[in-house]
């Protein structure tokens, strides 16, 4: 793998791979996350310690904090502590500050789910029709960034998610600043950010006229989206390194024109183990209530579960465009299906503690799978669609089950296997927790990001 930089120095990262290997952690065998690159100098103990998940730099083994404190500017479309990408960015800020770095955060002023942003500086954003225009040309974001760079010049800029509120115009202000773009969604290669078609099948085409032909976007939105992607291609040279959250996501970015994409997966903080399952089997879903999440598949599958096991219950937590439709459908199941709205993170985790299994039935290529990782660290078994980052998180039959996306019969079968066998559900949940602790600690995730900062800075010297 080669990482090139637009500045004075170019360097190559030569990595050797070991694929399909296994390691054992506290009596459980785990498959080394498939498709990831592991430096051969890492011992089995280092791998088990979670220090080499994803793309590593030669000669570095997750040694902790960077050599000197850095001034870091984090940039994202939203700063509300409400969505997965936003919570990850805020957690990164907190952990970088704890390591002695000077960190600031810039986002739009749009409130997700009515929750105010926690950014240090904001620009104007919109959640109405004006967003179609400002995500292509947001002058407020450009001006806010220019002021931030002038008043608080950073050593490195880390963009987590943009193009929904902050337009590619911000890249013109970053010509002389080292930049890491860690993509959390597919917006940089797909106008709707999902890479799925209206019929919920995977999109394998590059963005272009096909986006309008397939009905993914309207005529007006298509024009704006194509202008946005053209601007991104033009100013992409101002980005020093591009990273994704999973190998599956990296492949999609490379198929759509990005080169030398790194993999920097999310991490998670330690959480209490929740071994005590509810008295009656509880299946849980937590996330956005939208078509790409496969909720119609889940409801169909749970219909089959409750016919075989009348005492089983389904808990759905979240909000989104399908909420009213799902609530109407839930009424037909009586008390066996409960739908709650958006919950604060702590309340959500408490609500999910008694779940026998957590389901992630997505039909799109999940970039990573924060919800699955949260379930694993709690010790909850996971049943997830075998697509995107989920395939790299869940070990089928060891920490949970992987099912074909959209396959109601297969999902029903796997759910029944867990809700009819408490001991099996607990065993898979415990194994999932141990894998999360081995490979996905927050410390290891921040280590990898610090190392990436250092390499970008070294190339600019």
Model pLDDT for residues 136-179, shown as the tens digit of each residue? 999 999 999 999 999 999 999 999 999 999 999 999 999 999 99
How far apart, in whole angstroms, are the C-alpha atoms of residue 402 and residue 423? 19
Q: Is residue 36 part of a domain?
A: no
Minimum mean pLDDT range among 5-19, 89-103, 302-316, 409-423: 5-19
- Parent domain of 179: 66-239
Q: 162 and 232 share a domain?
A: yes
Res. 27: pLDDT tops 60: no
How far apart, in whole angstroms, are the C-alpha atoms of residue 254 and residue 160? 18
Q: What angle do CA 26, 32, 36 make, to 5 degrees?
A: 150
How far apart, in whole angstroms, are the C-alpha atoms of residue 48 and residue 54? 13
Q: Is residue 390 part of a domain?
A: yes
Q: 364 and 424 share a domain?
A: yes
Q: 201 and 290 share a domain?
A: no
Res. 97: pLDDT tops 60: yes
pLDDT attached to residue 254: 96
Which tens digits make up the pLDDT trace of 276-314? 787 899 999 999 999 999 999 999 999 999 999 999 999
Ordered strands of the 357-360 beta sheet: 337-340, 313-317, 282-286, 357-360, 381-385, 400-403
pLDDT attached to residue 44: 30
385-409 per-residue burial string, b: 16 or more CB within 10 A, e: under 16? bebbbbbbbbbeebbbbbbebbbbe
How far apart, in whole angstroms, are the C-alpha atoms of residue 24 and residue 47? 10
pLDDT attached to residue 200: 86
Q: Is residue 82 part of a domain?
A: yes
pLDDT attached to residue 105: 98
H runs (alpha helix) in 218-369? 219-235, 247-255, 295-308, 323-331, 345-351
- Report CA Rg, the chain: 22
How far apart, in whole angstroms, are the C-alpha atoms of residue 285 and residue 276? 18
pLDDT tier, 66 (very low <50, low <70, confident <90, very high otherwise): low
Q: 90 and 233 share a domain?
A: yes
Q: 402 and 335 share a domain?
A: yes
Q: Is the dihedral of CA 61, 63, 67, 68 positive or negative?
A: positive
Res. 35: pLDDT tops 60: no
CA nearest neighbour of 263 among 273, 272, 274, 252 = 252
Res. 52: pLDDT tops 60: no
Q: Is residue 454 part of a domain?
A: no
392 contacts: CB under 8 Å, gap ≥ 6: 33, 34, 35, 36, 246, 247, 248
Res. 2: pLDDT tops 50: no
Q: 202 and 146 share a domain?
A: yes
pLDDT attached to residue 76: 97
Q: Quickly list DSSP for 440-461.
A: -BHHHHHHHHHHHHHHHHHHH-
Res. 43: pLDDT tops 80: no
End-to-end Cα spacing for the chain: 21
Res. 349: pLDDT tops 90: no
- Give the CATH number for residue 431: 3.40.50.2000
How far apart, in whole angstroms, are the C-alpha atoms of residue 302 and residue 248? 28
Q: Final residue of a domain: which of 211, 239, 267?
A: 239
Minimum mean pLDDT range among 64-73, 248-257, 332-341: 64-73
Q: 290 and 348 share a domain?
A: yes
Q: Is residue 201 part of a domain?
A: yes
Res. 73: pLDDT tops 60: yes
98 contacts: CB under 8 Å, gap ≥ 6: none
How far apart, in whole angstroms, are the C-alpha atoms of residue 360 and residue 333? 21
Q: What is the mean pLDDT of the chain?
A: 86
Q: 88 and 234 share a domain?
A: yes
Res. 50: pLDDT tops 70: no
Q: Is residue 1 part of a domain?
A: no
pLDDT tier, 33 (very low <50, low <70, confident <90, very high otherwise): low
pLDDT tier, 275 (very low <50, low <70, confident <90, very high otherwise): low
- Give the CATH number for residue 197: 3.40.50
By residue count, the chain amounts to 461
Which tens digits make up the pLDDT trace of 362-406? 999 999 999 999 999 999 999 999 999 999 999 999 999 999 999
How far apart, in whole angstroms, are the C-alpha atoms of residue 46 and residue 286? 33
Res. 48: pLDDT tops 50: no
Q: Is residue 148 part of a domain?
A: yes
Neighbouring C-beta atoms of residue 14, cutoff 10 Å: 9
- The tokens for 67 are 């050599």
How far apart, in whole angstroms, are the C-alpha atoms of residue 165 and residue 360? 27
- Split into its structural domains, the chain has a count of 2
Q: Element (H or E) spanning 385, and its range?
A: strand 381-385
Q: Final residue of a domain: which of 239, 273, 307?
A: 239
- DSSP letter at 82? T
Going from the C-alpha of 59 to that of each of 212, 332, 453, the distances in angstroms are: 47, 59, 16
Higher pLDDT, 21 or 243: 243
How far apart, in whole angstroms, are the C-alpha atoms of residue 98 and residue 95? 5
């Amino acid at each position: 793998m080669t990482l090139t930089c637009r500045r004075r120095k170019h360097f190559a990262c030569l990595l050797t791979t070991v694929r399909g290997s296994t390691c054992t952690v506290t009596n459980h065998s785990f498959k080394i996350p498939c498709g990831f690159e592991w430096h051969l100098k890492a011992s089995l103990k280092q791998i088990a310690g979670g220090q080499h998940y994803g793309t590593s730099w030669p000669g570095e083994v997750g040694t902790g904090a960077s050599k000197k404190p850095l001034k870091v500017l984090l940039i994202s479309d939203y700063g509300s502590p409400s969505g997965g990408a936003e919570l990850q960015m805020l957690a990164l800020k907190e952990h970088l500050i704890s390591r002695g770095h000077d960190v600031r955060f810039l986002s739009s002023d749009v409130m997700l789910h009515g929750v105010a942003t926690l950014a240090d500086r904001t620009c104007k954003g919109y959640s109405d029709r004006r967003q179609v225009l400002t995500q292509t040309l947001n002058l407020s974001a450009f001006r806010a960034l220019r002021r931030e760079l002038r008043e608080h010049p950073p050593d490195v800029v880390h963009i987590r998610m943009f193009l929904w509120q902050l337009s590619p115009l911000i890249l013109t202000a970053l010509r002389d600043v080292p930049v890491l773009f860690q993509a959390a969604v597919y917006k940089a290669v797909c106008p709707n950010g999902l890479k799925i078609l209206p019929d919920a099948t995977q999109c394998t085409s590059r963005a272009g006229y096909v986006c309008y032909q397939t009905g993914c976007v309207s005529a007006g939105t298509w024009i704006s989206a194509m202008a946005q992607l053209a601007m991104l291609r033009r100013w992409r040279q101002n980005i020093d390194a591009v990273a994704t959250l999973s190998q599956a996501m990296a492949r999609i970015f490379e198929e759509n024109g990005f080169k030398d994409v790194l993999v920097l997966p999310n991490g998670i903080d330690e959480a209490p183990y929740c071994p005590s399952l509810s008295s009656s089997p509880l299946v849980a879903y937590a996330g956005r209530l939208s078509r790409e999440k496969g909720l119609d598949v889940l409801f169909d599958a749970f219909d089959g579960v409750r016919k075989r096991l009348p005492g089983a219950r389904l808990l759905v937590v979240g909000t989104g465009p399908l909420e009213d439709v799902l609530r109407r459908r839930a009424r037909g199941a009586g008390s066996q299906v409960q739908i709650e709205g958006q919950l604060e993170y702590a309340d959500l985790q408490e609500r999910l503690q008694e779940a026998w299994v957590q389901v992630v039935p997505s039909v799109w290529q999940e970039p990573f799978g924060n919800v699955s990782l949260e379930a694993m660290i709690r010790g909850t078994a996971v049943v997830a669609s075998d697509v995107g980052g989920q395939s790299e998180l869940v070990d089928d039959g060891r920490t949970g089950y992987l099912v074909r996306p959209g396959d109601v019969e297969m999902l029903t079968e796997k759910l029944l296997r867990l809700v009819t066998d408490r001991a099996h559900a607990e065993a898979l949940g415990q194994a999932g927790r141990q894998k999360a602790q081995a490979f996905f600690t927050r410390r290891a995730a921040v280590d990898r990001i610090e190392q990436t900062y250092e390499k970008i800075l070294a190339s600019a010297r």
